[in-house]
């Protein structure tokens, strides 16, 4: 199946700093990428939908100035958590769809963010 990579897999940062997470589709062109946040033992919460070459669409309640999303190419989307705080600590997962077939989502392995 299609492969989506995510980097870094784990990151620890200090409160007030910014962290960038990369999501890459390795063997297909992703017309759309999604960013999710998952709290322990909870479901995935969609944060935003990222379409190549256009601004991301954020879900209600997600601060666009805090969670900056850039989808500059068909294989790369980045999520930057700006001025991170401990409450931003979470598991962030990206996914990508190719826009053909069943529109199946291919998920990255996730990034565990810990803000101290």
Partner 1 sequence: AQKITQTQPGMFVQEKEAVTLDCTYDTSDQSYGLFWYKQPSSGEMIFLIYQGSYDEQNATEGRYSLNFQKARKSANLVISASQLGDSAMYFCAMRERLYNFNKFYFGSGTKLNVKP
Among positions 5, 49, 70, 80, the unique one binding partner 1 when judged by CB under 8 A? 49
Phi, psi at 58, each rounded to 5°: -95, 145
The structure tokens 């017309």 sit at: 31
By CB under 8 A, residue 58 contacts partner 1: no
Site for partner 1 in 64-103 (CB under 8 A): 91, 93, 95, 97, 102-103
Q: How far is the CB of 33 from partner 1 (least distance, A)?
A: 11
* Residue with smaller CB distance to partner 1, 88 or 108: 108
Q: DSSP labels for 1-24?
A: ---EEEE-SEEEE-TT--EEEEEE
By CB under 8 A, residue 5 contacts partner 1: no
* Residue with smaller CB distance to partner 1, 79 or 93: 93
Q: How far is the CB of 109 from partner 1 (least distance, A)?
A: 5
Among positions 42, 55, 64, 85, the unique one binding partner 1 when judged by CB under 8 A? 42
* Residue with smaller CB distance to partner 1, 22 or 82: 22
Q: How far is CA 73 from the centre of its chain?
A: 14
Rounded CA gap, 23 and 6, in Å?
5
Distances (CA, A) of 21 to 68, 91, 100, 103: 10, 11, 26, 24
């Amino acid at each position: 199946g299609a492969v989506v990579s995510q980097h870094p897999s784990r990151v620890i940062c200090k409160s007030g700093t910014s962290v960038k997470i990369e999501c890459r589709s390795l063997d297909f062109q992703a017309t759309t990428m999604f960013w999710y946040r998952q709290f322990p033992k909870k479901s995935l919460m969609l944060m935003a939908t990222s379409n190549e070459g256009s601004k991301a669409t954020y879900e209600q309640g997600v601060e666009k100035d805090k969670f900056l999303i850039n989808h500059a190419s068909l294989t790369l989307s980045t999520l930057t958590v700006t001025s991170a705080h401990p409450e931003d600590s979470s598991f962030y997962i990206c996914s990508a769809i190719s826009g053909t077939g069943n529109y199946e989502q291919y998920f990255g392995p996730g990034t565990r963010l810990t803000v101290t």
